[in-house]
């Protein structure tokens, strides 16, 4: 027995959220046992919870040796708890591999990892809310990094493999790629290369099971093959790493060892880290291995490699997740069979799995799933963190089902409605600005467009949550277009009220007079065209229009 040990199976270290909103720490086995009474896995940053959830999924897949099929999955789903007997039996089999400070096989680490000079770096190398001393996401003081508890070190250890920023790492003895004592950049941790999509259920048990994809998903995902095992089932890593190791399946991806790490310290506290490069992985066409990302067709990559290439679609922190919802839906962008033309997007494999559960009546259509978009944005050369993304959308799984094409296209069409309206108000604001003497693309349009998107965010989420298998899609679309129409006017009114006398008088632009009234008339015409269901009677004048009275005509500037 290791007196300095800290076994992650038994020691509390995972941050979990209870229904009352309290955070507490739990061991791996505690998490599985309490899963029906927990909400989700949390952490110091959202990406930490994502990385640990994927580690738990790898554990659960191996513990249940499957599920092999949807029928096996249904047995798990219908039980009140997770299969604790099988979980404990599996834990006992690999117990020694979960000790954070085991002298020979420490969890997710290399026991003899060292540099030629025996250097140990500060904890800011792995603590992502204070990357290299720049406190982007926390009020944590530098002094608090002198020593952290073993539990917190374990959380950042899992996070480092998944999301560590790129950049120069320690040159480990035994790493043949080290030059001049340095490990040169190989890219970020694997989860940092994708735009994480994590469907959540009513509690953590349901979340884990929704993401526990069966082996019969083989037409679109490789998972659970004989070699698809986590690190604790393999021979311990050394400082050497492979720059071309092929992934074996989703379990391998969930626990990909992008770094080689050794924590300095023990259960009384961790004071430093040796952080070196690990197994390099590139993102091209990994959609058949990683189910937690949208994938996009890349024409440049396809030309480069001479065959169809799909790349992970990263989250854009400046763009709300609902604006890219369609790409997450198999009902819109399903995993079609080979031989067809490349499609713009591939929905995440996990959403395809949920779709298959609905189609085969293993999950009711009115079941509500909360889909989280989690990811990191990196700075120059991906060497620093600049943003952490954590957004969610709530929807009935009927919307996800590949058979619900009309429902999926209704959700997509509603986003298109917002986009067209946003384009119209952008042009309106730019026309008003130009009427007042501004140069083209003054920025007024960008500000107005973003104001409209912000005004539509909460209504869209609420409208989306109301879509079910029984929804009249035409009526729902009409309701939405009227919402968009009505949300436009306050935004437009602000532009009009801010317009100066020069803008009201106007000036000639492209040989036509442009002033506030003309710009508004063009806007009204554009909105009628963009939102036809909101203006069913073309003779009617919107009562809530901000005030122009000129006859609508085509906008030409």
Distance CA 286, CA 304 (A): 17
Nearest to 131 by CA among 160, 174, 89: 160
SS3 395: strand
Tracing tokens 């996800």 back to the chain, one arrives at 400
DSSP bridge pairs for 394: 370
Which pLDDT score, from 0 to 100, does residue 132 have?
53
**From edge to edge, which strands make up the β-sheet containing 196-200?**
196-200, 368-378, 385-396
- For residue 141, the model assigns a pLDDT of 64
- Say if residue 31 is exposed, middle or buried (CB neighbours under 10 Å; 0-12, 13-18, 19+): buried
Q: CB–CB of 263/153 below 8 Å? A: yes
Domain boundaries, the chain: 14-379+388-399, 405-531
Contact indicator for 473, 513 with CB cutoff of 8 Å: no
At 130 the pLDDT is 63
Task: Give the pLDDT band of residue 513 (cuts 50, 70, 90).
Answer: very high
- Strand 259-266 relative to strand 269-277: parallel, antiparallel, unpaired? antiparallel
With a cut of 50, say whether residue 544 has pLDDT above it.
no
Bigger pLDDT: 557 vs 28: 28
CATH of 405-531, one of 1.10.540.10, 3.30.70.141, 1.10.132.100, 2.40.50.40: 1.10.132.100
Kindly tell me if the per-residue pLDDT of 556 is higher than 90: no
Mean of the per-residue pLDDT values of the chain? 92
Q: How confident is the model at residue 545 (pLDDT cuts 50, 70, 90)?
A: very low
Average pLDDT over residues 526-545: 74
pLDDT digits (tens, 9 = 90+) for 250-273: 999 999 999 999 999 999 999 999
Residue 25: partners with Cβ closer than 8 Å, 6 or more residues away:
12, 13, 14, 15, 16, 151
DSSP conformation letters of 444-483: HHHHHHHHHHHHHHHHHHHHHHT--TT--HHHHHHHHHHH
Contacts of 450 (CB under 8 A, 6+ apart): none
pLDDT above 60: residue 365 = yes
What contacts 431, CB < 8 A, 6 or more positions away? Answer: 509, 514, 518, 519, 522, 555, 557
Q: Phi/psi of residue 294, each to 5°?
A: -75, 145
Is pLDDT above 60 for 469?
yes
Distance (Å, whole) CA 464 – CA 486: 18
């Amino acid at each position: 027995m290791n007196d300095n040990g800290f076994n992650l199976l038994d020691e509390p270290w995972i941050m979990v959220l209870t229904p009352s909103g309290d955070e507490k720490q739990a061991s791996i086995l505690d998490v599985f046992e309490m899963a029906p009474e927990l909400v989700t896995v949390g952490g110091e940053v959202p990406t930490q919870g994502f990385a640990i959830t994927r580690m738990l999924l790898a554990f659960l897949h191996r513990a249940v040796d499957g599920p092999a099929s949807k029928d096996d999955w249904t047995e798990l789903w219908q039980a009140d708890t997770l299969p604790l007997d099988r979980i404990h039996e599996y834990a006992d089999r690999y117990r020694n591999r979960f000790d954070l400070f085991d002298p020979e096989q420490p969890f997710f680490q290399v026991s003899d990892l060292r540099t030629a000079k025996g250097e140990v770096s500060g904890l800011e190398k792995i603590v992502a809310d204070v990357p290299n001393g720049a406190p982007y996401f926390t009020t944590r003081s530098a002094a608090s990094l002198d020593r952290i508890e073993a539990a917190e070190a374990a959380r950042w250890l899992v996070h480092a493999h998944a999301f560590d920023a790129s950049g120069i790492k320690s040159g480990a003895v035994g790493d043949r790629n080290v030059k001049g004592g340095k490990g040169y950049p190989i890219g970020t941790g694997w989860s940092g290369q994708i735009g994480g999509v994590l469907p959540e259920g009513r509690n953590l048990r349901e979340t884990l099971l929704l993401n526990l994809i069966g082996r019969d998903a083989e037409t679109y995902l490789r998972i659970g093959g004989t070699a698809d095992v986590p690190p604790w089932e393999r021979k311990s890593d050394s400082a050497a790493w492979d720059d071309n190791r092929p992934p074996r399946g989703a379990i391998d991806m969930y626990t990909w060892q992008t770094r080689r790490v050794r924590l300095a310290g023990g259960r009384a506290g961790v004071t430093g880290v040796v952080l070196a490069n690990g197994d390099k992985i590139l993102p091209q066409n990994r959609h058949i291995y990683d189910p937690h990302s949208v994938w996009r067709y890349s024409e440049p990559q396809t030309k480069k490699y001479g065959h169809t290439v799909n790349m992970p679609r990263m989250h854009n922190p400046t763009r709300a997740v609902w604006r890219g919802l369609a790409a997450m839906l198999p009902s819109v962008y399903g995993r079609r069979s080979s031989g067809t033309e490349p499609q713009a997007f591939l929905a995440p494999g996990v959403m395809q799995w949920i779709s298959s559960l609905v189609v085969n009546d293993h999950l009711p259509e009115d079941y509500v799933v909360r889909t989280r978009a989690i990811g990191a944005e990196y700075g120059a050369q991906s060497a620093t963190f600049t943003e952490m993304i954590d957004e969610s959308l709530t929807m009935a799984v009927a919307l996800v089902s590949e058979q619900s094409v009309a429902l999926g296209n209704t959700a997509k069409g509603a986003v298109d409605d917002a986009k067209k309206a946003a384009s119209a108000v952008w042009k309106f604001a730019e026309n008003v600005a130009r009427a007042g003497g501004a140069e083209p693309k003054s920025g007024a349009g960008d500000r107005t467009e973003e104001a409209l998107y912000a005004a539509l965010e909460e209504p869209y989420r609420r409208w989306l949550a109301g879509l079910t298998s029984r929804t009249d899609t035409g009526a729902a679309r009409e309701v939405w277009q009227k919402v968009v129409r009505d949300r436009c006017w306050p935004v437009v009114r602000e532009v009009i009220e801010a317009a100066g006398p020069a803008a009201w008088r106007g000036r000639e632009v492209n040989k036509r007079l442009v002033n506030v009234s003309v710009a508004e008339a063009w806007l009204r015409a554009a909105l009628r065209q963009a939102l036809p269901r909101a203006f069913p009677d073309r003779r009617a004048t919107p009562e809530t229009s901000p005030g122009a009275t000129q006859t609508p005509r085509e906008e030409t500037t």
